[in-house]
Amino acid sequence: MEYDGDPANVFMRSVNDNGETFKNLGTTCEGGWAFDYGQGCVCYLAPGHLIPVLWNPEYVKIQQNAVGWVLREA
């Protein structure tokens, strides 16, 4: 994927450990970003597709923090 928003909103990058690339975009891409939008906010996460990635304790913390941030009171 290509992220065309403000780079300051990116807080996580996904890395292809196999060194594979797509359309010469490189082996990494933005894996998480967040920003305020109107009276709300947006958080996007794309860490990987396999269960070991989704159950990684550090990623679980990121998910919990993202939900807390999205639900915060204005």
Q: What's the whole-number mean pLDDT along residues 29-34?
A: 90
74 pLDDT above the threshold of 60? no
43 found inside a domain: yes
Q: Give the domain extent around 56.
A: 7-70
The answer to whether 50 and 18 have CB atoms below 8 angstroms apart is no
User: Residue 24 — pLDDT band, cuts 50, 70, 90?
Assistant: confident
Output the average pLDDT for the chain: 86
46 found inside a domain: yes
51 found inside a domain: yes
29 found inside a domain: yes
Q: What is the pTM of this model?
A: 0.74
1 found inside a domain: no
Q: What's the whole-number mean pLDDT along residues 55-67?
A: 90
Indicate the pairing of strand 10-15 with strand 40-45.
Answer: unpaired
2 found inside a domain: no
Distance (Å, rounded) from C-alpha 30 to C-alpha 17?
15
Query: Phi and psi dihedrals of 32, rounded to 5?
Result: -165, 135
Q: What's the whole-number mean pLDDT along residues 52-61?
A: 88
Q: Domain tally for the chain?
A: 1
The pLDDT of residue 8: 96
